């Protein structure tokens, strides 16, 4: 067990070491993967709208470039530090390897609260952050993407800043950007769509039926809202949803299209204040209390602790968020025969379509949305059955099977390349 069960990096290392043991690897084979290749902390002085200067802290961590350029999102949040960013970068390495995309893992963050910043202040923060991390990023080195509290507009600012330094337009420096400057169709929905593809593959193998299945979702942002809509259209009853403002519940199922419309037009972009027939509200912490068939954490890391794992009443957990489950909780869930579809597999859809965007940028192509979605489904399905085969043959959890698949691929790449010098 990790020495600190609430340390996200310790949890990742525990899974890494366990996978290495099951693969029969020597410590020398993978020791380098227990560390990030590069970690950069930057100060970001910004002139605020009131004329005063504030200094923000930013991070960019590159975990491994053994299989290709590093890839990972950029989040704006007060709840970030170097350890969290380091963990998320490592998870991107494993995620890329599970779906066999030729990337390594990276992650970035700026410690700020976007809800207290104007659009112009956010733009200045983004441009200065980009300038500070400029030596690390580029289409062949490290490609940022949206994450919590960042979006296609922020990616556009990064692309423009980078391009101004280069003297020419470089759309491939980021993914998840607007269509007008080189984004791809299907990117906004990709993570949620990938989760649904994986659940579709799992369903017949474990006797799960979408029709009238009760679902609870933690998080109703870019991923949770898409997930809720897709699952509702497949016949699921989404009975409970929460976001940062609180939760809403209806036993007969929420009207997801109506809820999405409400959030889009709500000034604070949350579900707070949503009212309709049969709706009851609850504190966001109670999202784990409902009796459901499928529970989806689609918010932040470290949400499912041991006490939560003991009271969760669900058959399946699909980790649409990165690192939502602690190791000690994992063991409890396994003992209770709750199926956990791990983050590094089930939430990889956004990464896959980011790869498609990058490829289109490099080749100056534009794929149609059907082509994007069909290829996404093919890659997610292939990854699922590779993980499922290891799960069946080795008698390990789906998480351990995914880690074993990922680690094997990264270690082989490192061995082929060797150690420099």
Q: Which residues are catalytic?
A: 107
**What is the SS3 assignment for 169?**
coil
**CA dist 56 to 76, 78, 111, 397, Å?**
11, 10, 6, 41
127 closest CA partner among 169, 156, 89, 168:
156
Report the phi/psi class of residue 171: left, alpha or beta, with left for phi > 0 and alpha for psi in -120 to 50. Answer: alpha
Which residue's structure tokens are 């100060």? 43
How many angstroms separate the CA atoms of 207 and 210, rounded? 10
How many angstroms separate the CA atoms of 122 and 119, rounded? 5
How many angstroms separate the CA atoms of 132 and 59, rounded? 10
**CA dist 172 to 69, 175, 277, 295, Å?**
12, 7, 47, 35
Which of the 8 DSSP states describes residue 139?
T
Q: Which two tokens stand for residue 251?
A: 């036993």
287 closest CA partner among 333, 325, 239:
239
**CA dist 403 to 40, 349, 393, Å?**
26, 17, 15
What are the residues whose beta carbons fall under 8 Å from the beta carbon of 215, sequence distance 6 or more? Answer: 228, 231, 236, 237, 238, 239, 292, 293, 294, 295, 296
């Amino acid at each position: 067990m990790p020495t600190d069960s609430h340390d996200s990096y310790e949890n990742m290392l525990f899974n890494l070491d366990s996978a290495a043991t099951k693969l029969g690897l020597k410590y020398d084979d993978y020791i380098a993967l227990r560390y990030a290749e590069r970690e950069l902390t930057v100060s970001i002085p910004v002139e605020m709208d009131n004329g005063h200067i504030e200094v923000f802290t930013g991070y960019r961590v590159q975990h491994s470039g053994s299989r290709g350029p590093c890839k990972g999102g950029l989040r704006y949040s007060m709840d970030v530090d170097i350890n969290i960013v380091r963990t998320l970068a490592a998870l991107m390495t494993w995620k890329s390897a599970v779906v066999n995309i030729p990337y390594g893992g990276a992650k970035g963050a700026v410690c700020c609260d976007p809800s207290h910043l104007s659009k112009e202040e956010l733009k200045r923060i983004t441009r200065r952050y980009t300038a500070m991390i400029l030596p690390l990023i580029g289409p062949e080195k490290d490609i940022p993407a949206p994450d919590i509290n960042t979006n296609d507009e922020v990616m556009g600012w990064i692309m423009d800043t980078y391009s101004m330094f280069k003297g020419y337009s470089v759309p491939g420096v980021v993914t998840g950007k607007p269509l007008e400057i080189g984004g791809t169709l299907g990117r906004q929905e990709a993570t949620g769509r990938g989760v649904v593809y994986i659940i579709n593959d799992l369903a017949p193998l474990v006797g799960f039926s979408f029709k009238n299945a009760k679902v609870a979702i933690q998080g109703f942002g870019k991923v949770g809202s898409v997930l809720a809509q897709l699952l509702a259209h497949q016949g699921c009853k989404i009975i409970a949803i929460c976001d940062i403002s609180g939760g809403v519940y209806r036993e007969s199922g929420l009207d997801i299209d109506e809820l999405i419309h409400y959030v889009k037009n709500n000034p604070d972009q949350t579900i707070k204040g949503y009212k309709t027939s049969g709706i009851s509200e609850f504190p966001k912490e109670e999202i784990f209390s409902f009796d459901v068939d499928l529970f989806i954490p689609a918010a932040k890391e470290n949400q499912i602790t041991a006490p939560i794992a003991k009271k969760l009443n669900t058959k399946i957990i699909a980790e649409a968020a990165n690192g939502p489950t602690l190791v000690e909780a994992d063991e409890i869930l396994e003992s209770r025969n709750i199926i956990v579809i791990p983050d590094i597999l089930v939430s990889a859809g956004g990464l896959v379509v980011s790869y498609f965007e990058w490829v289109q940028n490099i080749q100056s192509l534009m794929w149609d949305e059907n082509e994007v979605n069909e290829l996404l489904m093919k890659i997610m399905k292939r990854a699922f059955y590779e993980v499922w085969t290891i799960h069946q043959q080795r008698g390990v959890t789906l998480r351990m099977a995914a880690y074993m698949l990922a680690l094997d691929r990264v270690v082989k790449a490192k061995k082929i390349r060797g150690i420099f010098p």
